[in-house]
Each structure stands twice: as structure tokens, then as C-alpha cells.
Amino acid sequence: MKPIAEPAVKRVVAFFDGRNLRKSSRSAFGHRDYENTHPLKLARMVCARKGWQLDTVNFYIGVPRKGRRVAGETSEDWDLRKDLWGTEGVNVFTRDLTCNNKEKGIDVRIALDIARDMQNDAFDIALIFSQDQDFQEVVKEVKSVAVNEGRWLKTASAYPLRQEDKNCRGIDGADFAVPLDRGTVARCLEAWIERPNPLDEVRARLHRFALRIPHFSVRGTSQWAFGTAASLYLAMLLGTFGYLTFTDIAHARDIRSQPTIASEAVMMKVPPNAGNAVLWPYYWSGTFAAEYAKIRAR
């Protein structure tokens, strides 16, 4: 078999398994800040040290659903980061995390993109930032295509190096192992996306509400006052008639010829409460009739 010529310029496409790399970095270096690596900076540094030519950077990660927060980050944080990295040339692919904060479909998406780019002759080296051994099948497929088609195709596995862990390794079968030490990762960190202080958000809401107060018109205020008064009066009516029974009304009707007695009878049968205001006209009409009868008797 004719030996495959090694290209003078080795084109690289980087594939970041975001969640795996972030988790491994924190585990290896013992601090959450090491999770927040900038993929473009890290890929450039690795390729510069190896003498490779970086063509494309693809970043894949599962993100929280709307309204949820995972490890202090929200979907809005990742939307902002996605837009920022996109302007720098990084292709960001996201999937929603499950209810158990698990990723679904990320590994498959990476494998499919590696196979597509390999078919399109987009790279000579597939640089995979991950320690996930599921990518062994992708590594085997790249080697098989290289042999069958007579092409110079390689895979590289980049991973955070834990000095105290002798079994720390990248993807088994990869052509190049690229351990990442603490200093390398530290030089590729970026600032965390700053989130607004909850107290500042409360102050902003109160400020917006205060600015809306002068917009309340006199007409709107009067309508509100009238509606409130009408509702309270209706509530008093309902409260009053809730105490009146059919017997009470029938008794008042039987003695309607004696307004004073009728009014007093009804008032006595109804327990005193705020709703009795509806019966005040009956009470005062009965009192007036009684006083008028006394005047005529003189």
C-alpha cells in the first residue's frame, strides 16, 4: 500500500463537548472559575503549540430551559454568550437540559458533525475537547475512512490534566493526546456574565411604578372610586338580604298598615350589621309616620 503523505499544513476543526470539558476542568483544578474557558482562545493556543492551522470552532452544550437556573446560569446567560461568541466566529449549538439536568443528543450531534465535515474534507485533524469515551466510535470511523480512502485523517483528544490521577486520559484510540495543564486553561478564561443585583431589580420596578403614578387621570380615579363604592354597597345589600327570610318578609307584609310597627318588626328580626343600611329608609319612614300621627292627634 502506498504511504499516505502527511500534509504540510494540517487543517483543524475543533469540537467542544462543553459540559464535559467544564465538569472535567472544575474536577481537575478544584475551582469553578476554570469552567469558564473561552473555546476560541483555548483552541488557538492548542493549535499554536502543535503547529496546526485552526479553521473552525464548534461548541456544544446543554442549557437550562426558560425560567430555570442550573449552576447559577440561565438560558438568558447562554443566549448572551452565544451571541458574543458568534461574533467571534464560534459556532454554538445548544440543547435544552432535561428535568434532571441531563444532556440529550449532544454527543450524537458532535459525532454527526465530525462525520459530515470528514465527508466534506473540512479538516485533517478533528480536535475533540472531551474525555467522553463514547467518542471512541467516532475515532474508529475516522481511522477507517482514512485507510479506505487513502487520506491523512487524524483525531486529537484535549482534556484537563489531573496530576494526582494516574488514570487521567483522553478518548481512547485518538491519534493525539493533548493534556491541558492549569496554566493553559487559566490563560484562556473569560469573565463570568454579570447578572443584575436582585435589590437593584426591585428598585427599578418601584421606580417604574412611581413614574406611572402621575399618568392616573382624574376621570380614571373617579371611576375607580365610584366602582369601589358601588361594590361595597352591593356587598351590604347581599349581607342584609342574607339575614332576611321568607317569614320576615311575610310578617312585614301582614302588618304593612302599621308602618312604625312594620319597620320595627323588620329591624328587630334582622341582626345588626353593616348591611342594615338598606333598611334605613323603612325605619325613618315609619318614625316620620308615627310623629305625624301624634301631631294630628293633638
> What pLDDT does 185 receive?
93
Beta strands 90-96 and 176-180, pairing class = unpaired
How many residues are listed for the chain in this entry? 298
Note the pLDDT tens digit of each residue in 20-79. Answer: 999 999 989 888 889 889 999 999 999 999 999 999 999 999 998 888 888 778 888 888
pLDDT number for residue 117: 96
Which cell goes with 41? 482562545
Position 152 scores a pLDDT of 96
Domain ranges of the chain: 11-191, 202-297
- Give the sign of the dihedral formed by CA 278, CA 279, CA 285, CA 291: negative
**What is residue 211's predicted lDDT score, i.e. its pLDDT?**
64
SS (H, E, C) 128-169: EECCCHHHHHHHHHHHHHHHHHCCCCEEEEEEECCCCCCCCC
Distance CA 130, CA 155 (A): 12
Nearest CA to 53 among 41, 67, 43? Answer: 43
Q: Are 271 and 285 in contact (CB under 8 A)?
A: no
Assign 71 to helix, strand or coil.
coil
Question: Mean pLDDT of successive 10-residue segments in the chain (298 residues)?
Answer: 83 96 90 90 96 97 87 85 92 89 90 96 96 94 94 96 79 95 92 60 67 55 74 71 49 50 43 48 52 63
- Rounded to an integer, what distance in angstroms lies between the CA atom of residue 141 and that of residue 148? 10
Task: Determine the topology of domain 11-191 in CATH.
Answer: Rossmann fold (3.40.50)
